[in-house]
Amino acid sequence: MKKIRGIAGSPGIAIGKAKKISDSFFSYKKVKKIKEENIDAEIKRFNESVNKTENEILEIIDNIRRITDKEYAEIFSFHLSILRDRNLIEKIEKIIKKEKVSAETAIRKFVDILDRELKKEHLKARKKEILDIFERIISNLCPKNNKLKDIKDGIIVANDLSPTQTVSIDKRYIKGFVTSMGTETSHTAIIAKALEIPAVVGIKEGIEEIKENDVILLDGYDGFILINPTKNEIEKIKMKEKEKENLRKKIYILKDKESITSDGKKIKLYANIQLPEEVETALKYGAMGIGLFRTEYLYIKRTDLPTEEEQFLSYKKIIEKFGKKEIIIRTIDVGGDKFISSFQGPKELNNFFGLRGIRFCLEKKDIFLTQIRAILRASYYGNLKIMFPMITTREEVIETKKLIEEAKKELKNKDFKIKEDIEIGIMIETPSAALISDELAKEVNFFSIGSNDLIQYTLAIDRVNEKLSYLYQPCHPSVLRLIKITVENAKKNNIKVGVCGEMASIPEIACLLIGLGIDELSMAPISIPLVKEKIIKNSFAKMREIAEKVFNFNKHDEIIEFIKKNLN
């Protein structure tokens, strides 16, 4: 038996035989020549494969819509646009003809040329999807390579999975997946969570030791795998699974229970969503509001920009399902690891320290104002609040507020109804924002602490680099001190403060945050019942006591241990 640690990509436990998906054909360098008289037949074979791929994509879109009723299907409209681009297809046909090579070789040569283009910053984010399309065409040219389709029982083991592969997973046959790339915030993990497929990602070492058909035990809750586990280990994990299963059953009871500590303090538990359709899941798990709508996904999944009307309808769709509950719409947060194809930004050495969040918006005011107008228009119909990401200075907030006033004026001139006094909030996700939160609190109605980024910037670690995941410490004393400062400044200025980073979804840490004075916790919907259960079992007095004492420790692990020991 061997245990390998990774990152918990998507919760769940799975046991099955390892089904290894080898790296893409792009690493295969052999050139296959063909005879002159076979050129036409080869071009025909290539076109048939393109058509087959197109039909598959259409089928996937159909399936996703049926299974999940989510807009993830739209991610594939980009795949379709590539497959239907005659210009591009003809370029590959030309290579077959001119160089007298097989379709597979021609595609590889074409991808090599394209690779140089894909290094450009604005195309980087699309690279995976573009390669994914060509990989699909190739696998249809030689179907025996298309392993994913053939897997009838097991756990996928791969270097990386593309978004297409993730949504192609048939949950009846494939129990989960393990990858060496990625983190909990990578695209693949986000989709796996939404589709409820257990996954462990970001395994730094040891994945190559897994042999085909080895028994793999995958723990997507705690982020590890066991290779060929002993009977004892399997029993242990089965018990854990049973516990989780019981908990799942409890979800329906918990769902309608009030989120209140044992000594009577009510705690708001909200959901983080990426697309309007996820509101269904948020309601299923008992979310009392939306604490973070990551609106950049409305931009990421397409090649052009969403119009004001389209965005207005998306926001309204959430309101229609969510009624009078509070909904916090965060304006577009691109940059870092999220890019939109409709904008070609300047080349940057380090994207996370570049034109990200509010910086992008203040540079591209037209895009920003369109979104602000859409939010203001939707605000008339429900309990919407607007929130801005990546704030580092007071000036950014002042400038943003001016833009809101400008948008309001414009809309009123056009006779649109809006909520005049819409609440404005900012994310506290940089150390600078936390440290000047006394000044910032005077400018806004609420704070939401984005701990994913606050940890990244405080500890100087790239949040998507799996090699640094050991330093991703939500309870590092520096992070807790910054949270404490932020909460104190919010309270002094009488404004609300929430947390919407991943740390809010860890039940024990959630209790610490409540003890520190956090008013609202927002997380992936699936985490809400677990956090609620912990809250109900413990008193606010205990949480406050823990929050005072954690500052006596100076190590992350000691703090976690202390909290766990002191909670029921």
237 or 292: whose CB is closer to ligand PEP? 292
Least CB distance from residue 451 to ligand PEP, whole Å? 5
Give the pairing of strands 520-523 and 199-201: unpaired
Among 229, 276, 450, 515, binds Mg ion (CB under 5 A): 450
Residue 498's region, left for phi above 0, alpha for psi from -120 to 50, else beta, is beta
333 or 519: whose CB is closer to ligand PEP? 333
- Choose among Mg ion, ligand PEP, none what residue 500 binds, the Cβ cut-off being 5 to 8 Å by kind: ligand PEP
CA angle 155, 157, 161 (to 5 degrees): 105
185 or 478: whose CB is closer to ligand PEP? 185
Look-up of token digits 């609040």: 385
Report the interface residues with ligand PEP, using CB under 6 A: 185, 292, 294, 333, 429, 450-453, 500-501
Angle, helices 39-68 vs 75-83, to 10°: value is 160
104 belongs to the binding site for Mg ion (CB under 5 A) = no
Q: How far apart (Å, rounded) are the C-alpha atoms in residues 499 and 484? A: 12
Least CB distance from residue 451 to Mg ion, whole Å? 9
- Choose among Mg ion, ligand PEP, none what residue 451 binds, the Cβ cut-off being 5 to 8 Å by kind: ligand PEP
176 or 501: whose CB is closer to ligand PEP? 501
185 or 228: whose CB is closer to ligand PEP? 185
Least CB distance from residue 391 to ligand PEP, whole Å? 12
272 or 383: whose CB is closer to ligand PEP? 272
453 belongs to the binding site for Mg ion (CB under 5 A) = yes
Whether 187 is catalytic is yes
Q: Which residues pair with 328 in a beta bridge?
A: 385
326 Cβ partners below 8 Å, 6+ apart? 270, 288, 289, 290, 383, 385
Distances (CA, A) of 108 to 36, 353, 385, 412, 539: 20, 34, 49, 55, 61
Handedness of CA 153, 154, 160, 163 (dihedral sign): positive
Binding to Mg ion in span 390-449, by CB under 5 A: 429
- Choose among Mg ion, ligand PEP, none what residue 71 binds, the Cβ cut-off being 5 to 8 Å by kind: none
184 belongs to the binding site for Mg ion (CB under 5 A) = no
Distances (CA, A) of 199 to 156, 193, 275, 280: 9, 8, 21, 22
Q: How far apart (Å, rounded) are the C-alpha atoms in residues 5 and 346? A: 37
Among the listed residues 361, 475, 476, 500, the single catalytic one is 500
276 or 501: whose CB is closer to ligand PEP? 501
Least CB distance from residue 429 to Mg ion, whole Å? 5
Among the listed residues 187, 475, 476, 511, the single catalytic one is 187
- Choose among ligand PEP, Mg ion, none what residue 104 binds, the Cβ cut-off being 5 to 8 Å by kind: none
Least CB distance from residue 473 to ligand PEP, whole Å? 14
- Choose among ligand PEP, Mg ion, none what residue 276 binds, the Cβ cut-off being 5 to 8 Å by kind: none
Q: Can you tell me whether residue 524 is helix, strand or coil?
A: coil
Least CB distance from residue 463 to Mg ion, whole Å? 9
Q: Which ranges constitute the DSSP H helices of 229-357?
A: 231-256, 279-284, 296-300, 308-322
Lookup: tokens for 355: 């034109």
Whether 79 is catalytic is no
How many Cα atoms within 13 Å fall on the side-chain side of residue 403? Answer: 25
What number of H helices and E strands is found in the chain? Answer: 23, 16
- Choose among Mg ion, ligand PEP, none what residue 400 binds, the Cβ cut-off being 5 to 8 Å by kind: none
Least CB distance from residue 376 to Mg ion, whole Å? 23
Which spans of this chain sit near Mg ion (rule: CB under 5 A)? Answer: 429, 450, 453
Question: Which active-site residues does the annotation give?
Answer: 187, 500
